[in-house]
Structure 1
Amino acid sequence: MDTRPAPHPTPQADAWLDTLPQAVLLFCAGGGPPGAGMTVTRVNAAAVRLWGVPQERAAGRSLLEVVRRHTLEALAERGGELELEVGGRTLRCTATRAGEGREGALVVEDITGHRRREAELREATAVLSHEFRTPVTGLRGVLEALEYDMPPDLAQNFVRQGLQEVERLARLVEDLAVGFRPTRARTLPLAETFARAERLLTPELTTRQASLTFGADHLVRADPDKLLQVLLNLIENALKYGPPGQPVEVQTSPRGTWVEVAVLDHGSPLGGTDSLFRAHTRGPHAPGQGSGMGLYIVRSIVHGWGGQAWTERRGERNAFCFTLPGGVGHGL
């Protein structure tokens, strides 16, 4: 049996390996000192950067000496593919064997960016599905109402509401291309958003036999649709998680050049409140099914205009608060 080591590839013959972004390590089996297992014959430039062993030192050494991981040694031995988490990076490692199994290659690709983009895509999908829910629910209510005979002026009012929700859907579709931060900020009175929110929430308020009150009006600077989304999320949470039939109050107060808005409910005291604003997180006593994205969306939108979002206990009530830039002047 020929036990001589496989000839080392000449630098000229495989110079193209150094142009690859993946780390490539070529090896042969049974060609090194006794017990060496697999011997490295060539590493490309990316492999030198990954393992910190230059070509002249890597050639002739055992594979384990260069990669310093038994997991990779075992992969090179059997062939196949696996992913490793190393120093905060995700590496896809592939091993192949050729030449009757004596020669092989270990290829390592950094896919950290790819995995991060996958996570961002999943998050974006969750955010969009959550944001589309409100206008779709509003449209369903309008269409159900229009099935019944009603005075023309009332029917026209429902049609206007439906058109407003269609416009919101169109703007959400536009956001697919530009991200989720507010891009259409203008100065508006809070009362304008309060009126939109109350109109959309009327069916749920009636079903839950709950009342909703709003504090003093203030001029603010925000994207009207994003502000409405924040307010709807917080009020819907208060209605959903607070005791049935209890009032929900929206308080407002100036804070220098900012305006604070707080949604108060009569729910039980909350623990670990900061974690509630993380993605896919729900309170320990949250009933039913939910995506756990509502408060995450709230904080993301509020941070987008430079504000803060938090929750605290005020007397016997939970307060979910956020700040937003004030407009010209405060009280109206």
Structure 2
Amino acid sequence: MSAAHEPHAGAPAEGGARTDWMDALPQAVLLSEHGLVTRLNAAATRLWGVPQERAQGRPVLEVVRRHTLEALLERGGELELEVSGRTLRCTATHTGPNGALIVEDITDHRRREAELREATAVLSHEFRTPVAALRGVLEALEYDMPADLAQNFVRQGLQETERLARLVEDLAVGFRPTRARTLPLSEAFARAERLLRPELGARHTELTFGQDHLVRADPDKLLQVLLNLVENALKYGPAAQPVQVQTAARGTWVEVRVLDRGEPVADTESLFRAHTRGQHATGQGSGMGLYIVRSIVHGWGGQAWAEQQDGANAFCFTLPGVAGLG
């Protein structure tokens, strides 16, 4: 053998170098020529379950086993596929007889996008109540009224402004651990009734509350649960019919039930899923209310459910109790 044909000492073979960098890629890569596979990297071998030595020289369709991918490789372009619960982004290039197919698993990316949309929907829903309360306060302050009444409205406005500030903080730095404290249920009931007073008056509806109990919860989150459930009862129950909030001690837990006399709800479990509304729902709505209720209640270790009680719809939740009220 002449020196001109001897390999350079210490130089890696060209195929070996290509193998090294392609096998290091997290994406699956398939190379082809005239419709036949010339190369699979390690990720592609794992994805399609065909080793390089068996794939080489075989038609692309025999390896990828999907006409969609074969056609994509022939024309070039990009598409997404759902395969066995995974989302795959497939990109193909085609130059003359040569083609390259790159497949990337973007399942986690799509999951994070879904979580972000869900968090945005939850925050949007939670912003509605304090914004509506502030609007009511400002509208009331436009009119002349006694100083003590005006001061009461100002206090309400400041309280809701603080609540909005906490929501903004959550939006900026992510959801923080619960700010739980011990409080009587009557405190949350009074706050909810004050915020709902205009709607109660408009519907000529009376809101009644059960026995007081000491509980351990984040006051804002507890208020959010109560507002969601009572607002639903007002929305779907008949006007001028009372809405009852019942309470009972269940061992170390306190159970709260919100009852309405609306149309009986059949599939109650589905209502607690995100973006789901009841069959009798009218007007605009995100379908997030009961999903938020269950998420909050699960956050403090309780349960949330719905059932029929004495001809009424009962939407129920539990929260940690504190013995020795009074």
Instruction: Say yes or no: TM over 0.5.
Output: yes
Measure, in 2, the Cα distance between the counterparts of 1:288 and 1:17.
Answer: 55
Instruction: Identify the residue that residue 33 of structure 1 maps to in structure 2.
Output: none
Q: Which residue of 2 aligns with 1:273?
A: 268
Identity %: 79
Q: Matched residue of 2:50: which SS?
A: coil
Give the TM-score taking structure 1 as reference length.
0.91
1:27 maps to 2:32: yes
More deviation, 81-90/59-68: 59-68
What are structure 2's unaligned runs of at least 5 residues?
A: 1-13
Pair 1:57–1:84, CA change in 2 (3 A): same
Alignment-mate amino acid for residue 18 of structure 1: D
Runs of 4+ in 1 over 6 A off after TM superposition: none
CA shift at 1:82, angstroms?
1.1
1:80 corresponds to which of 65, 77, 80? 77
Q: Which residue of 2 aligns with 1:206?
A: 201
Q: CA, structure 1 residues 164+140, in 2 after alignment: closer, same or farther (shift >3 Å)?
A: same
Q: Which of 44, 47, 69 is the matching residue for 1:47?
A: 44
Alignment of 1:114 with 2:109, yes or no, is yes
Q: Does the CA-based 8 Å contact 2:19-2:41 persist in structure 1?
A: no
Contact 1:242 1:265 in 2 (8 A): yes
Contact 1:181 1:301 in 2 (8 A): no
Q: Matches of 2:235 and 2:17 in 1, distance apart? A: 70
What per-residue deviation string (whole Å, max 9, x for no partner) do you get for residues 177-203 of structure 1?
Answer: 565575101111101101110110111
What is the aligned counterpart of 1:246 among 241, 247, 250? Answer: 241
- Residue 56 of structure 1, aligned match among 53, 58, 80: 53
Q: Give the CA RMSD over aligned residues.
A: 1.5
What are the equivalent positions in structure 2 for 1:1-332 lying under 5 Å apart?
Answer: 10-13=15-18, 15-29=20-34, 38-98=35-95, 101-177=96-172, 179-180=174-175, 183-329=178-324, 331-332=325-326
SS in 1 for 2:15: coil
Residue aligning to 1:35? none
Q: Distance in 2 between matches of 1:182 and 1:229?
A: 16
Equivalence for 2:4: none
Moved more, 39-48 or 155-164: 39-48
- Number of residues of Structure 1 aligned to a counterpart in Structure 2: 314
Whole-Å Cα distance in 1 between the matches of residues 291 and 135 of structure 2? 26
C-alpha displacement of 1:41 = 0.9
SS at match of 2:36: strand
What residue identity is the alignment partner of 1:304?
G
| 2:205–2:240 CA contact under 8 A, matched in 1 | yes
> How far off its partner does 1:282 sit?
0.7
